[in-house]
Amino acid sequence: MRVQRIIFSLTTFLGSALLFLVQPMAAKMLLPIFGGSPAVWTAAMLFFQVALLGGYAYAHFSNKVLKPHRQVWLHLALLVVAALTLPVSTHSQVFKSFESKATDSSQPALLVISLLALTVGAGYFIVSSGAPTLQRWFASTSDPQAKDPYFLYALSNAGSMVGLFAYPFIVEPRIGLAEQAKLWALGFQILIGLFVVCAVILIVEERKTKADEAVAEPVLDDKPVTWDQRRRWMFYAAIPSSLLLGATSYISSNIAPVPLIWVVPLATYLLTFILAFASKPLLKAGQIARFLPILVVPLAFTQCIEATEPLLMLAGFHVVVLLAAGWMCHSLLAEQRPSANHLTEFYLWLSVGGALGGLFNSLIAPHILSLIHI
C-alpha cells in the first residue's frame, strides 16, 4: 500500500511542477513575436486559466462517464497524443507563420491564444487534468487513505511551488529556451511513465477485486452535491484568487516594482492550499477567522491613506493578509470537501471560482475601484 501511495504522490508532484514550469517558458517564447506588453501577458494568462478550467472539466466528466478503471485508457491515449506535439520549438513553422501575422495586428490577444493552443496547448491541458484525475484513481484503490485522498492536493500545490521557484531562479538563468523545451518534454515523458504505473496499479486492483470476493472495492459516499455547496465552493475559491491578483498588482505597481516580485504572492497563495489540505492542518478556518480582522483593518487603513513607505513592511503586510485570508477560505473548502466520489466535481467548481475571481479583478474592479494608481 505504501509503495502505490508513493507512486501516486510522485506523479502528482511532478505533474504540478511541470504545470508551473511551462507557463513562464511559453510566455518567454512569445516575447520575440509579440513583445512584453500587458495585453500579451493578459492574453497568455487568460489562455492558461481557460485551459486549466478545461482540464478540470475533462477530469470530472471523463471520470464520471467512464469511471476510473475505464478512464485510464482515454487518459493514457491523450498523454501520448500530447507528447507528439513536443518539444515546442520557436524555429518551427507554426512560430514563423505567427511572426508575419503579429506585425500586421494591433490586437495580438487572439493571436497569442491561438499560438499557445497550437504549441503548448495539448500538453498543458492534459497535465492540468492530472491532479484531480490521479486523486480520483487513488480513491478507487484499496489503500487505507483512499477514502480521503485530498492529501494529494497538498502535494500538488507543493509541486506547483517547486516549479514556480525553479524556473526564474534555476532553469531560466542557466538553460537556453530550446533546451528548456527539451527538458520539459523529457519531464513529460517521465510523467507518462508514472501515469502508466498508476494505471497498472488501478487495473491490477480491479482484477483482484473481481477474482476474490473477500476483497471489497471501496464504497464511496454517493450523497448528491447540492447547488448550495457548489456556490459556497465557488465563493471560497474566488476570494483568494481575487486577493492574489489584487495583492500582486498593488505590490508591483504601487509599492515595490521589483523583477519577479509576483513570485512571492503566488507562492503564498499556493502555500495556503498546502496548509489547508494537509493531512493534519495546523489551524481550522474558525481559528484563523478570529485574528484575520486584526490584520485586515490596518491594511485597509494603509490603502485609504495610499501609504507607500516603508516599502518592505507594506509589501510584507499585503502578503501576510493574503496568507491569512487565503488560508481561511481554503480551510473552509477543505473542511467542506465532499466524499472522494465527488472529488473531480469539487475541483471543477474550485476552478470556476478561481476564474470568477480573476474576471472580477480584470473586468469589474477597474470600473468600481480607484485605489490603485499606475
What are the boundaries of each domain within the chain?
2-211, 227-368
> Does 249 have pLDDT greater than 90?
no
**Backbone phi, then psi, for 91, in 5-degree steps?**
-95, 5
pLDDT above 80 for 102 = no
pLDDT over threshold 70, residue 275: yes
- pLDDT band, very low/low/confident/very high, at 268 (cuts 50, 70, 90): very high
125 contacts: CB under 8 Å, gap ≥ 6:
51, 54, 55, 58, 82
b/e code 2-36 from CB counts within 10 Å (16+ = b): eebbebbbbbbbbbbbbbbbbbbbbbebbeebbee
Tracing cell 484499496 back to the chain, one arrives at 142
CA gap 114, 119 in Å, rounded: 9
Question: Average pLDDT for residues 324-339, to the nearest whole number?
Answer: 96
Considering the domain 2-211 in this protein, what is its CATH number?
1.20.1250
Q: What is the pLDDT of residues 107-166, one digit of tens each?
A: 777 888 899 999 999 999 999 999 999 999 999 888 889 989 999 999 999 999 999 999
Instruction: Please check the confidence at residue 312 and state whether its pLDDT lies above 80.
Output: no
pLDDT tens by residue, 183-195: 999 999 999 999 9
- Mean pLDDT in residue range 312-328: 91
